[in-house]
Amino acid sequence: MTESAENTQAAQPDEQVRALDRLVGSWRVSGGAEGTVTYRWLDGGFFLIQDVELEQYGQSITGFEVIGREKTFGAEKASEDIKSRFYGRDGSTFDYVYELDGDTLTIWGGEKGSPAYYRGTFGADGETVSGAWVYPGGGGYDSSMTRIK
C-alpha cells in the first residue's frame, strides 16, 4: 500500500465513533434535568458536537460538548476511548468517556469505569433513550431523551 493510500485510510472515523450517529438530531430531555440537546457532526465525521440547553435544580445549564477520539499534539494515534469535554457558559468543563454497546449507551464521568456514570438504553425505534445518572455514595437521577427532530 502506498503512503498516500495509508493516509487516506487513516483519515476515516472508526466504526465505534460512527455508531454514535444514532444520537444525531434534537432531543427533549426529561427527568432530573429538563430541556433540549442537539447532536451534530463536525465536518469530517471525527467529532460529534452536542449543544446543551437544560435546567436542573433551578439552574440553567447551557454549553456544548465535543465527543470523539482524543489525538493529542504529537500523538501517532488517537485514544482508545471515545472521550468528550463539556464547556459550560459558567466556565465549567467536564470530561466524559462514551461507550455504546448495542443499544446501551454509557457515559462515564471522567474516566471509563468511574463510579459516576449515565447508562441508558435506546428504544426499539431509536427515538428514545431511557436510563439514569448514578453517583458514588447514592444520588443520581432518572434521565430520558425523546427525539424531536
Contact 109, 136 (CB under 8 A): no
Spatial CA neighbour of 132 closest among 121, 142, 145: 142
Position 121 confidence tier, pLDDT thresholds 50, 70, 90: very high
Cα 126 from chain centroid? 16
pLDDT for the residue 22: 96
Helix, strand or coil for residue 63? Answer: strand
* Cα 60 to Cα 1: distance, rounded to the nearest angstrom: 52
Q: Which residue has the higher pLDDT, 63 or 4?
A: 63
CA distance 140 to 118: 9
Contacts of 124 (CB under 8 A, 6+ apart): none
Q: Residue 101 and residue 93: Cα distance in Å, rounded?
A: 26
pLDDT of residue 13: 86
Does 15-147 carry CATH code 2.60.40.1180? no
User: Quick one: pLDDT at residue 1?
Assistant: 46
Average pLDDT value over all residues in the chain: 92
**Which of 63, 55, 132 has the alpha carbon at shortest distance from 93?**
63
Q: pTM for the complete prediction? A: 0.89
Instruction: Tell me the pLDDT tens digit for each residue of 47-77.
Output: 999 999 999 999 999 999 999 999 999 998 9
Residues facing residue 124 across a β-bridge: none
